[in-house]
């Protein structure tokens, strides 16, 4: 992704509301996710999974999709 695209996304995020921030905790793992609706009907979803015991990031997930689409939260592996 080019710097120009990132700057546009940053400006768009300043103008738009968070759709759904949430967190899931399972044992020593904490998942945080938020999604942002952009003006061109695109969704940016950003997720981070932490190991609370080791105080480190296990996984970072970032995606950008056109709306409407099925929102998949990506934390199914926490239930294993």
pLDDT tens-digit readout, 3-15: 677 667 666 656 5
pLDDT at 13: 59
Helix (H) or strand (E) holding 5: helix 3-15
Using CA atoms in the order 43, 77, 48, 11, what is the torsion angle rounded to 10 degrees?
-10
Count of structural domains within the chain: 1
Residue ranges making up the domain that contains 39 = 3-79
pTM score, two decimals?
A: 0.43
pLDDT of residue 73: 46
Residue listed under structure tokens 């942002």? 36
Rounded CA separation 42/65 (Å)? 5
Looking at residue 66, its pLDDT comes to 64
Chunked mean pLDDT (size 10), the chain, 80 residues: 66 56 68 72 75 81 61 40
Q: What is the CATH number of the domain that holds 35?
A: 3.10.450
**DSSP state, 45?**
E
């Amino acid at each position: 992704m080019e710097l120009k695209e990132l700057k546009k996304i940053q400006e768009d995020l300043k103008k738009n509301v968070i759709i759904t921030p949430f967190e899931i905790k399972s044992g020593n793992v904490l998942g945080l996710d938020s999604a942002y609706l952009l003006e061109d009907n695109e969704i940016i979803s950003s997720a981070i999974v932490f190991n609370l015991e080791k105080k480190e990031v296990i996984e970072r997930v970032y995606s950008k999709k056109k709306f409407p689409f099925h929102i998949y939260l990506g934390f199914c592996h926490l239930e294993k």
